[in-house]
Amino acid sequence: MTNIQLPDVGTTEALVTQLKASLPDFGRIVDRYGHAAPALRQLGLVHWENGRFDAAARAFTSALSLATEDPDLWRDLASVYSALDQDEQALAAIRVSLELAPDNAQSWQTLASVADRLDDAETAEGAYRRVIDLNPKAAAAHLGLGLLLFRRKSYEAALAAVRASVDLDYVNGLAHFALGHLSFIALDFASCARAFDEAARLTLPLDAPSRQKRARAITFQAMIEGRVQEALQEYSGIAGDDREDLDVIARDAFSVLSASGHLEAAAEIGRMRLAEKPDDPVRRYLLDAVVGRTMAAAPTEYIEQYFDQFAPQFDSKLLGTLQYDAPSQMAKLVAGHRDRFNRMLDLGCGTGLAAEELMRFGSTLIGVDLSSGMLAEAAKRGGYAELVKSEAVAYLQTTQDRFDLIFAADSLIYFGDLGPLLRAAAGAMVQGGLLALSIEVAEGQSFTLRPSGRFAHSLEHLKTAATDFVILESVESHIRLEAGRPVPGLYVILERH
Ligand SMILES: C[S@@+](CC[C@H](N)C(=O)[O-])C[C@H]1O[C@@H](n2cnc3c(N)ncnc32)[C@H](O)[C@@H]1O
C-alpha cells in the first residue's frame, strides 16, 4: 500500500509482551479490547501529547502491523510524521487513510495541512474544499483555504473563506489577523481596524507592519467619513512609535481613496497636497483626474516625473502586486498572426518588459519612452537596438523608420483621444504592418480620464480613431489589479491598410 515500513507481527507481539509486563495500564487496555492495537494506539497518543513524536510513530506503526486496515491509525501516523517534519511519509500515510475511508473530513484536513506545508497548493486547496463539503462548519478548513488563497493573491475568495472561519470560530486570533490584512486589501478600513484589534486581544500583540496598517486603516476610515484634516492630525497619536512620514500617509490616502471611489475625500487631500507644492505636475494632474477635469492626454511633465520616480519599483509592483502580464499576453496574440518582423517599435517601452517577448520575432527592436528613469531600467534589461527618449506622437511623426510591428502595452492609457496617436503610428508603419495595443475599457462611445490618472477607451472610440487600420483581433482581459480588483481591458491587434 505504501513504502512505510511496518514492523512484522512477531516483533510487535514481543513488544506487546514487554509493555504488558512493564505498564499495567497497557495490559488492562489490551484485556478490555481483547486486542493489542487499541492499547498501542493509546500509548502512541500519550507519547504524541507529550511531544515524544518518534516514540509515538513507533507505537502507531506497531499498532498498524496488527490492524493495517484502520484509517484512524494511518491518520494518527500521518500527523506524527508531520510533527517530525517527515512530510513525504505523512503524505503517504494520509493517502492510505483516505483510501480506506474516503469520506473522513478529519483525514482530508490532515492531507490539506500536509500538502500546504509541502507547497502543493493544488492538492491542499482540493483537500480543504473536500473538508468543507463534508463538514461546512469546519472552521480550520475555511481558514486554511483562506490563507492559501491569500498567498495565491486570490484576495476576494480568501476574504470570503477567512470571514467564514471567523464566523465559525470567533476566538481564533490568527483568523482575525488574516481578516485584518485582507480587509485592508479590500479597502474595508473599518473592518480592518476591528479585526486587528480582535487579533491583538485574542492572541499576541500585533507585529509592526500590522500596527502600521491598523493606524492607516483608522486614518483612512476617518477621512472617508469626512474628517480629513482631523485624521491627519490624529495619525501620529494612533501610530505611536510605528508612525510613518505624514506626507507618505497623505499621498497613499489620496491614491487609496481615489481608487476606492471616495472622490470627495481624495479631492480634499489632493487640494491640500497641491497647496503645499503648487508646481508639482504629479499632484496637479492627479487632482485634475479626481475632480473629473477632461484633457487630451496626460501632461508630459506628469509622465516624466511620475515614471522617473516609479521606475526602480515598477517591475516588482507591476509583476508582483498588480499581476500585470500584458506584454506576454499581447506577444502571444501577435504570434498568432505573424512570427517575423524586420523593424519593431516598443512604444512607451517603460522598463522593457516587452523586450524578452519581442526578441523572438526579430533582431531590430527600438524602444521609445518619455521617462529617462524607465529607459535606464530598459537599458539594464537589454534587447533593444536603440532606446529613444521622446514623446510618443512626436517620435512617430518625425522618425524616418518604417516599422512592421508597433507594440504599445499599457501606454495608450495615458492618451485621451487616440486619433492623433494612431494617425502618427500609421505614418510610421509599412503597409500591412501590425499594431498591438492594450486599453482599459470604458462604457459608451468615447474615452474618459479615470481618478487613477489613466484613460479608459471604448472599443467604439478605438474603431473610429483607427481609420488607417483594420482590427484583426480583440481579446477581453484583465490588464492589472487596481485597489485589489481586476481592471477590465482589451488587447487589440490591428493591421495597417
Ligand atoms: C504603464 S507603463 C508601461 C510600460 C511598458 N510598455 C510595459 O508594458 O511594461 C507606461 C509607459 O508609457 C510611457 N508613456 C506614457 N505616456 C507617454 C508619451 N506620451 N510618450 C512616451 N511615453 C509615454 C511612460 O513613461 C511609461 O513608461
Enumerate the CATH 1.25.40.10 domain ranges in the chain, comma separated.
9-150
- The hierarchical CATH code for the domain 9-150 is 1.25.40.10
Q: What share of the chain is helix, strand, coil (3-state, %, to 5)?
A: 60, 15, 25
What local confidence, expressed as pLDDT, does residue 296 receive?
A: 92
> Closest Cα to residue 16, out of 1, 33, 34, 37?
37
What lies within 8 Å, CB to CB, of 338 at 6+ separation is 361, 405, 434
Centre of ligand 1 to C-alpha 4, Å, is 58
Q: Is the pLDDT of residue 321 over 90?
A: no
Question: How many other CB atoms are found less than 10 A from the CB of residue 355?
Answer: 20
Centre of ligand 1 to C-alpha 327, Å, is 12
Centre of ligand 1 to C-alpha 342, Å, is 23
* DSSP tag of 171: T
What local confidence, expressed as pLDDT, does residue 273 receive?
A: 97
What local confidence, expressed as pLDDT, does residue 390 receive?
A: 98
What local confidence, expressed as pLDDT, does residue 230 receive?
A: 97
Cβ of 350 below 6 Å from ligand 1: yes
Mutate which of 356, 370, 395, 450 for ligand 1 pocket (most atoms within 8 A of beta carbon): 370
Cβ of 315 below 6 Å from ligand 1: no
Cβ of 228 below 6 Å from ligand 1: no
| Terminal Cα-to-Cα distance of the chain (whole angstroms) | 67
Centre of ligand 1 to C-alpha 474, Å, is 21
Q: Is the pLDDT of residue 455 over 80?
A: yes
Query: Measuring from atom 12 of ligand 1, which residue has the nearest CA?
Result: 348
- The hierarchical CATH code for the domain 303-496 is 3.40.50.150
What would the mean pLDDT of 71-91 be, rounded to a whole number? 96
Query: Measuring from atom 23 of ligand 1, which residue has the nearest CA?
Result: 348
Enumerate the CATH 3.40.50.150 domain ranges in the chain, comma separated.
303-496
Average pLDDT of the chain to the nearest whole number: 96
Report whether 421 contacts 390 (CB < 8 A): no
Q: Place 445 in a pLDDT band, splitting at 50, 70 and 90.
A: confident
What would the mean pLDDT of 351-368 be, rounded to a whole number? 97
Q: Rounded to whole angstroms, how far apart are CA atoms 492 and 153?
A: 27
Query: Measuring from atom 26 of ligand 1, which residue has the nearest CA?
Result: 350
Centre of ligand 1 to C-alpha 448, Å, is 18
SS3 215: helix
Q: What does the buried/exposed string (b/e) look like for 146-157 if buried means 16 or more CB atoms within 10 Å of the residue's CB? A: bbbbbeeeebee
Mean pLDDT lowest for which of 1-15, 304-318, 330-344, 394-408? Answer: 1-15
Centre of ligand 1 to C-alpha 349, Å, is 6
| pLDDT tens, residue by residue, 163-172 | 999 999 999 9
Q: Given the CA of residue 311, which atom of ligand 1 is nearest to it?
A: 27
Centre of ligand 1 to C-alpha 177, Å, is 38
Report whether 18 contacts 62 (CB < 8 A): no
Q: Is the pLDDT of residue 2 over 90?
A: no
Cβ of 301 below 6 Å from ligand 1: no
Centre of ligand 1 to C-alpha 490, Å, is 17
Cβ of 391 below 6 Å from ligand 1: yes
Q: Is the pLDDT of residue 208 over 90?
A: yes
Centre of ligand 1 to C-alpha 62, Å, is 67
Residue whose entry in the numeric block shows the C-alpha cell 510605528: 242
What would the mean pLDDT of 136-156 be, rounded to a whole number? 96
23: phi then psi, degrees, rounded to nearest 5: -125, 100
Cβ of 345 below 6 Å from ligand 1: no
Cβ of 347 below 6 Å from ligand 1: no
C-alpha cell at 83: 510533527
| pLDDT tens, residue by residue, 4-56 | 899 999 999 999 999 999 998 899 999 999 999 999 999 999 999 999 999 99
Centre of ligand 1 to C-alpha 301, Å, is 13
pTM passes above 0.85 = no
Centre of ligand 1 to C-alpha 369, Å, is 6
Centre of ligand 1 to C-alpha 351, Å, is 9
| pLDDT tens, residue by residue, 127-139 | 999 999 999 999 9
Mutate which of 369, 412, 421, 491 for ligand 1 pocket (most atoms within 8 A of beta carbon): 369
SS3 222: helix
Query: Measuring from atom 13 of ligand 1, which residue has the nearest CA?
Result: 348
What local confidence, expressed as pLDDT, does residue 1 receive?
A: 52
What would the mean pLDDT of 411-430 be, rounded to a whole number? 98
C-alpha cell at 238: 494612533
DSSP assignment of 81-146: HHHTT-HHHHHHHHHHHHHH-TT-HHHHHHHHHHHHHTT-HHHHHHHHHHHHHH-TT-HHHHHHHH
Q: What angle do CA 369, 373, 374 make, to 5 degrees?
A: 45
Cβ of 303 below 6 Å from ligand 1: yes
Q: Is the pLDDT of residue 419 over 80?
A: yes
What would the mean pLDDT of 55-71 be, rounded to a whole number? 97
189: phi then psi, degrees, rounded to nearest 5: -70, -35
β-partners of residue 4 are none
Report whether 458 contacts 410 (CB < 8 A): no
Q: Rounded to whole angstroms, how far apart are CA atoms 224 and 101?
A: 53
Strands 469-482 and 485-496: antiparallel
Q: Rounded to whole angstroms, how far apart are CA atoms 477 and 457?
A: 14
Query: Measuring from atom 1 of ligand 1, which residue has the nearest CA?
Result: 410
Cβ of 411 below 6 Å from ligand 1: yes
CA distances from 412 to 158, 479, 482, 489 (A): 33, 12, 17, 12
